[in-house]
Every structure is written in structure tokens, then in C-alpha cells.
Amino acid sequence: MSETVFLIFELIGTVAFALSGAATAMRKGMDIFGVCILALTTATGGGVIRDLILGKTPPATFLHPIYAIVALATALIAFLPPVRHFFTHHHAFYDHMMLLIDSIGLGVFTMTGIRTAYQALPEATPFLLLFVGVVTGVGGGVMRDIMAGEKPYILVKHFYATASLLGALAAILLWHLIGSTFAILIGALLILLLRFLAAIFHWNLPHAKDA
Amino acid sequence: MSETVFLIFELIGTVAFALSGAATAMRKGMDIFGVCILALTTATGGGVIRDLILGKTPPATFLHPIYAIVALATALIAFLPPVRHFFTHHHAFYDHMMLLIDSIGLGVFTMTGIRTAYQALPEATPFLLLFVGVVTGVGGGVMRDIMAGEKPYILVKHFYATASLLGALAAILLWHLIGSTFAILIGALLILLLRFLAAIFHWNLPHAKDA
Amino acid sequence: MSETVFLIFELIGTVAFALSGAATAMRKGMDIFGVCILALTTATGGGVIRDLILGKTPPATFLHPIYAIVALATALIAFLPPVRHFFTHHHAFYDHMMLLIDSIGLGVFTMTGIRTAYQALPEATPFLLLFVGVVTGVGGGVMRDIMAGEKPYILVKHFYATASLLGALAAILLWHLIGSTFAILIGALLILLLRFLAAIFHWNLPHAKDA
């Protein structure tokens, strides 16, 4: 995958996660500073965790202002009254929007984790690629939910981490078969698709309370 | 301590912390995915923090699948209805079980912190060994409690970090005297013993509210 | 800035953040162990995050016992009944005290982030210096609030991160003009001043709920 195409891909994920952070902050009634901080944390958190795990210091987010600028611009646009109104007044819209943008972020960042791990450690095992991918994918959202005092999505949305894991698996299997570009796109789309299917068909799982 | 004996020691801690994560998740009524995620986070969190602090990247958890596999297998077994039933219906059993398994995890991971620090930095000061040991020991449990929205054990269970500290101190003092194997075993057992004594005799401490 | 002057500066920040951690713990009715742990976490958390981001492992806090000793001594003094009484019984006093000590910690640690980044990466861009400064400044307080189960200051106190950012900006602009000593002092004082002005004049910002 060319660097330019991948940068665009990363920026899509950054916008999506920034928007999910901003939406969470607005629903909690935070002011514009809180909205910006939570957007920035959600959008850059996964990448920082990824780079720390791979020993790439300082993390890319601290070297290239583009991610922070895009995340903050997204937060400011989300805070414009007409946009904000949708997030805070339409609960059904909010839930659907969150599913969409959080899934895009999950898909994109799972893939950036795998790609960065491949580049930093060419001899990485599939296990390392999978694990780094999932942790990178879920990291930003976990930081968003913990800072906002919400139950982490990853613990309450059944299938959340599994969607990330299956998308990561598909990308790793396809990596040398069809090239990194298509492997990344298919992996990210699979994550999006799996989360939609889980939401549409209410895939349910045994709960501890059923015992 | 031979690598094989130490691996078994580490896996005991992994099972214990995975079980404590699974138990917390089940008491909160999470589904099987939430139970697996919290078990995995608790069991591997301390080791990841340890390796990041010591500059060992990627952390061992990401290199060797054994820890993740054992943690997930533990979570699945804990989720079997007869096992689950004990955790969610017997409150006294739950409390005693949590004290036991969390203390085993605390003891084991405090010791892995010290041993890994010794290996990574042979000239490490006793202060560094102590601090890395305690942070490694308490790290997984803190991540478990924060993700589950519980008050962190380390802040509410008096004596928690002190037990880890005293066990670490004993192991460091005995390290060159009786060899690492016995130092580690005595350190871990001391942590277990101290936590039991604190629980049995209700060692109480001045609270801020008494002022 | 000479190492000795800077160490004194850092210790002032350590005392301030330790005090803010201890105050939060005491208001929550924790015992002396909880108070010590939260003081230590708040006082050393920002520095650990800073060093991990800059790839300086093990972090300075793990190498030099002085920070942990000062943080714990501060916690013990704060726990003395006459001192504790002020924190837990005078709500207005508590709020003013927290504003003061948290702002001192924010100012000091924002500056240690910038200085450590300059030393570790002499060719660092202003963006990296700014970002590392702010993350170091806010890190300890975020860990304090998350562990205590409070809404993070950074999300509810409008202007919190912006004060850190403006102080960091001033210090970076002045660094080569007037030397690091004065740049650091002016940057830290500016952060203190901005937070006081925001509190006194109730600088208000649009909230999401107004939409």
C-alpha cells in the first residue's frame, strides 16, 4: 500500500474516532474543551499504545501534527450547533452513528496496528500481528470510555473484540496473497460488516446472569 | 530458577489473575466476550506494563501466545455454568475466592517484575527492583478494576500494595543469599500470607473520615 | 537551568501533585494506604508517561528514589489529623487548595515534559515539545481522577489543557531567547495565572447541552 493511500486511510480512521470521542463528550454535556480533549484522546490513543508496544518512540502522533490537527478540526465541526443537535437530541441517530464511526475507527486502527508491526518487525509471528492489531484497534475506544466514565464498549458490546480479531486474521492471511493494500481494505471492511451483522441480527451470547 | 520452573510459576499467576478478571466480569453480568476480555487484560496487563517500563519491546505477552491462550482457556472454564454459578451466587465464596486468586496473582507478578528487572538491568538498584516488582504486581488488578468500573482494590483493600512491597523486599534481600528460586517462592508466599493475615485479623487502619 | 535548580522545581511539582492525590483520596474516605498510593500515582504518573513516550526506560521515577520518598512523605503529612481536617471538612478550602496545588503540578510537569524532550531529542519539533509537555502535565491528574472514580479534571475544568498548552507555547518561544531557566519559570507561572484567571472570572464556554 502506498504511503499516500495509507495516510488517507489513517485519516479516515482518525476522523471517525475523533467523532466518536466528540459525540461521547457532547452526550455527557461537556464544554468545547472537553469535547476536543476526548476527540483527540480517542483518535490518537490507539496509535500511541501501538507505537509504545512496538518500541517506536516517540510515537508517530507526537512527530506528525496532521493527526492532532485532523482530530481537533473534527471535534470543532462536530461541536457546531446543527451537527451537535443531531448527536445530543436524536437517540436512535446517536446509536446508529456511534456504531458506524466506532466501527470505522476499529477497522482502520486494527489494520494500522498490523501494518506498523509488519514494518517494525518484519519477522513478526502471526500471533504478534493479531494481538498488536486488536490492541491498537480497541485502545482508543477503551481510553474514550474510561475517561468519560462509561462502561467500555469492548466489555459490553458482544463481539466487539472478536470482529477486530477476525478482520485482523483475514488481513494477515491475505497479506502476501493479494498484497497489503487489498488485505488492509478487506480486513477493515470485514470488521465493519461483522459489527453491522451483529447489530442487525442481535447476535446474542450467554450472559453470566443466565447461570 | 530454571526457565521451565519459572514458566510454570508464571502460568499459575496467569490462571489466577485470569480467574479474578473473569469473576469480576461475571459478577457484573457480562457476556462471554466481556469475560474473556477482562480475564485477558487482568492476566497480561501487569506483564505488559513491566516490559514497557524496562524497555523490553514488544512485551513478552505479544511474543509468546502461551499467556493469552492460558488466560482465555481459564475464562472459558470459569464461564461453564457449574463454575459460574459459584462465582455469581455465593457471595461469601466469591469474596474468599477473590482474596485467594488475586493474592496469588499479586505474589506471582510482583516476583516476575523483580526477576525480569534483574535480567534486563543486572546493575539495578534495590529501589528499582522493588518499584518495578510492585507496579508489575498491582498493574493487572488496577486495569481490571478500572475497566470494570470498580473502585481499584489497591485503593480500598488496606495493606494491598504493602503486602506486595514486603514480599518484594524479602525476595530482593534473599536473592543472592539463597538463590533466585527460593527467594521468589518465599517472596510470593509471604505476600499470600500477609494478605490472609490482614483479612483474618481485620487489620484496620486510620481512615480520613475519622479525623 | 542548572540540575540542582531544576530538581528543586521538580520536587515542588511532586509535592503539589502528591498533595492533590492525597486530598482526593481523603475526601473519598480512603485509609492511609489508599492515600499513599494515590499521592504516589499522581506525583509520578506524568513523569512515567513522559519517559515512556520519549523512549527513556526505565523512567526516571524508577531510577531515583527521591520522587517516591517526597511523594510518600507528603502523603503522610497530609494525613496528620490537623492537616486532614482542613481537606475533609472545609469544602471551600478544599476547592481553593485543589485549584492551587493541581495548577502548580500542571505547570511544573508541563515544563519537565518540554525540558526532558529537548534533552532526549535535541532536534525535536515545536509540535513534539508542545504535545509531550501537555501530556506530561495532565497525565498524573488524569491517572488520579480515573483511579479515584472521579470525572477527569481535564474534561470538566474548562481551559485546563489549554492553560497547559499556552504555558508550553510561551516556554518554547522563549527557550532560546532568554534561556531555559527563565523560559521554564515564565511558562509555569503563566499556567498558574491562566488557571486562576479562569476560576476567578468564571470563564465560560459553550456546552453541548446548550444546543
Looking at residues B14-43, what average pLDDT do you find? Answer: 94
Residue whose grid cell is 518495578:
B132
Looking at residues C173-202, what average pLDDT do you find? Answer: 92
Pick from B55, B152, B206: CB nearest C58: B55
Chains with ≥3 CB–CB distances under 8 Å to A: B, C
Pick from A29, A38, A62: CB nearest C53: A62
DSSP string, A66-115: HHHHHHHHHHHHHHSHHHHHHHHH-HHHHHHHHHHHHHHHHHHHHHHHHH
Provide the pLDDT for residue C207. Answer: 56
Closest CA to B58 of A141, A138, A56, A58: A56
Search chain A and give the residue with CA nearest B148.
A151
Q: What would the pLDDT profile of B94-142 be if each residue is shown by its tens digit?
A: 888 889 999 999 999 999 999 999 999 999 999 999 999 999 999 999 9
Chains with ≥3 CB–CB distances under 8 Å to C: A, B
In contact, A24 and A87? CB cutoff 8 Å: no
Q: Please state which of the ranges A1-10, A110-119, A131-140, B161-170 shows the lowest mean pLDDT.
A: A1-10
A37/C161 touch (CB, cutoff 8 Å), yes or no: yes
Burial of C73 (0-12, 13-18, 19+ CB in 10 A): middle
Compute the distance between CA of residue B162 and CA of residue B175 in angstroms, rounded to an integer: 20
Pick from B63, B84, B148: CB nearest A128: B63
% of chain C with per-residue pLDDT over 90: 75
Residue C209 pLDDT exceeds 60:
no
Tell me the angle at which helices C66-79 and C3-27 cross, rounded to the nearest 10 degrees.
40
Minimal CA separation from A65 to chain B, in Å: 25
Alpha-carbon torsion (A127, A133, A137, A142), positive or negative: positive
Provide the pLDDT for residue A203. Answer: 62
List chain B residues with CB under 8 Å of A208: 25-31, 35, 79, 84, 87-88
Residue A185 pLDDT exceeds 50:
yes
Compute the distance between CA of residue B90 and CA of residue B74 in angstroms, rounded to an integer: 20
Provide the pLDDT for residue C205. Answer: 54
Average pLDDT, chain B: 91
Assign A92 a pLDDT band (cuts: 50, 70, 90).
Answer: confident
Looking at residues A139-152, what average pLDDT do you find? Answer: 94
In contact, C166 and C194? CB cutoff 8 Å: yes
HSE-CB for B195 with a 13 A CA cutoff = 26
Alpha-carbon torsion (A176, A177, A182, A188), positive or negative: negative
Provide the pLDDT for residue A204. Answer: 56
Assigned C-alpha cell, C50: 513522559
Q: Which domain holds residue A20?
A: 3-210
Closest CA to A144 of A11, A1, A16: A16
Provide the pLDDT for residue A157. Answer: 82
The residues that bridge with B207 in the sheet, in sequence order, are C31
Burial of B66 (0-12, 13-18, 19+ CB in 10 A): middle
Give me the amino acid identity at B142: V
* Torsion on CA atoms C103, C108, C114, C117, rounded to nearest 10: -130
Looking at residues A38-48, what average pLDDT do you find? Answer: 96
List chain A residues with CB under 8 Å of B27: 208
Buried b or exposed e, range B14-24, using 16+ CB within 10 angstroms: bbbbbbbbbbb
Compute the distance between CA of residue B98 and CA of residue B23 in angstroms, rounded to an integer: 8
Average pLDDT, chain A: 91
**A-to-B residue pairs, Cβ atoms closer than 8 angstroms:** 82
Closest CA to C62 of B120, A51, B7: B120
CA distances from B33 to A98, A136, A159, B36, C84 (A): 20, 18, 6, 5, 44
List chain A residues with CB under 8 Å of B31: 158, 204-208
List chain A residues with CB under 8 Å of B65: 127
Pick from C28, C33, C48: CB nearest B205: C33
A209/B88 touch (CB, cutoff 8 Å), yes or no: yes
Compute the distance between CA of residue C34 and CA of residue A69 in angstroms, rounded to an integer: 39
- Length of chain B in residues, anyone? 211
- Give the residue numbers in C contacting B (CB under 8 Å), as ranges: 25-38, 48, 52, 55, 57-59, 61-63, 65, 68, 79, 81, 84-85, 87-89, 146-149
The beta-strand segments (E) located in chain B are none
H or E segment and range at residue A169: helix A160-178
Q: What would the pLDDT profile of C84-101 be if each residue is shown by its tens digit?
A: 887 777 777 788 888 999
A121/B48 touch (CB, cutoff 8 Å), yes or no: no
Looking at residues B31-58, what average pLDDT do you find? Answer: 95
Q: Which of B155, B162, B203, B204 to mutate to test the interface with C (most CBs of C within 10 A)?
A: B155
Closest CA to C142 of A149, B37, B139: A149
Assigned C-alpha cell, A199: 447489530
Helix (H, G, I), strand (E, B) or coil at C54: coil
Search chain C and give the residue with CA nearest A78.
C208
* Torsion on CA atoms A181, A186, A192, A198, rounded to nearest 10: -160
Q: Which of C166, C207, C210 to mutate to test the interface with A (most CBs of A within 10 A)?
A: C207
In contact, B66 and B4? CB cutoff 8 Å: no
Pick from B146, B206, B208: CB nearest C146: B146
The residues that bridge with C31 in the sheet, in sequence order, are B207
User: Torsions phi, psi of C78, nearest 5?
Assistant: -60, -25
Compute the distance between CA of residue A16 and CA of residue C123 in angstroms, rounded to an integer: 32
Q: What would the pLDDT profile of C35-59 be if each residue is shown by its tens digit?
A: 999 999 999 999 999 999 999 999 9
Assign C131 a pLDDT band (cuts: 50, 70, 90).
Answer: very high
Average pLDDT, chain C: 91
In contact, B72 and B83? CB cutoff 8 Å: no
Indicate the number of domains in chain C: 1
Provide the pLDDT for residue C211. Answer: 41
Compute the distance between CA of residue C193 and CA of residue A83 in angstroms, rounded to an integer: 34
Assign B205 a pLDDT band (cuts: 50, 70, 90).
Answer: low
Residue B91 pLDDT exceeds 90:
no
In contact, B144 and B20? CB cutoff 8 Å: yes
Looking at residues B151-180, what average pLDDT do you find? Answer: 92
What is this structure's pTM?
0.92
Compute the distance between CA of residue C19 and CA of residue C36 in angstroms, rounded to an integer: 10
CA distances from A97 to A22, A171, A191 (A): 12, 26, 16
Compute the distance between CA of residue A195 and CA of residue A158 in angstroms, rounded to an integer: 9
Assign C210 a pLDDT band (cuts: 50, 70, 90).
Answer: very low
The residues that bridge with C207 in the sheet, in sequence order, are A31
CA distances from B12 to B19, B197, C127, C173 (A): 11, 22, 45, 54
Search chain C and give the residue with CA nearest B150.
C149
Provide the pLDDT for residue A29. Answer: 87
Q: What would the pLDDT profile of C17-33 be if each residue is shown by its tens digit?
A: 999 999 999 988 898 99
Assigned C-alpha cell, B154: 489497591
